[in-house]
Amino acid sequence: MRRTTVLPVAAVITALVLTGCTDGGSTPSDSETGPLSAFFEKIGGSYDEEDSKAQQRQVEEIVATCMSEQGFEYTPNEPMTGSAGVMSGDDAPDWESQEFAEQYGYGASTSDDLFGGRDTGEEWVDPNADYVAGMSESEQTEFYAALYGTPPEVDPEADPDAATEYEYNWEEAGCQGKAQHEVYDQNALWDDPAIKALNEEMSAEYENLADDPKLRAATEKWASCMADGGYDFTTPDEAQQSIYDELNGLYESVAPPEGATEEELANFDYTPDATKMAELKKKEIALATVDWKCKDSAGYYDAYKKANLEIEKRMWDKYGAQLQAVADKQTASK
32, 55 Cβ separation under 8 angstroms = no
SS3 of residue 268 by DSSP:
coil
Number of C-beta neighbours around residue 316 at 10 A:
19
Q: pLDDT tens across 22-65, in order?
A: 333 333 334 578 998 888 777 765 556 677 788 899 999 999 99
C-alpha dist (Å) from residue 145 to 46, 72, 172, 286: 34, 11, 10, 45
Q: pLDDT tens across 93-140, in order?
A: 888 899 999 999 999 999 888 876 444 445 678 899 999 999 999 999
CA atoms within 13 A on the CB side of 4: 15
Q: Delimit the domains of the chain by residue range.
A: 1-46+187-334
CA atoms within 13 A on the CB side of 204: 7
pLDDT at res. 107: 93
Contacts of 42 (CB under 8 A, 6+ apart): none
Contacts of 59 (CB under 8 A, 6+ apart): 176, 179, 180, 183, 184
Contacts of 284 (CB under 8 A, 6+ apart): 105, 106, 108, 109, 110, 243
Contacts of 306 (CB under 8 A, 6+ apart): 28, 30, 214, 215
Round the average pLDDT of the chain to a whole number and report it: 80
Residue 101 host element (H or E): helix 98-104
> What's the pTM value of the predicted model, to 2 decimals?
0.63
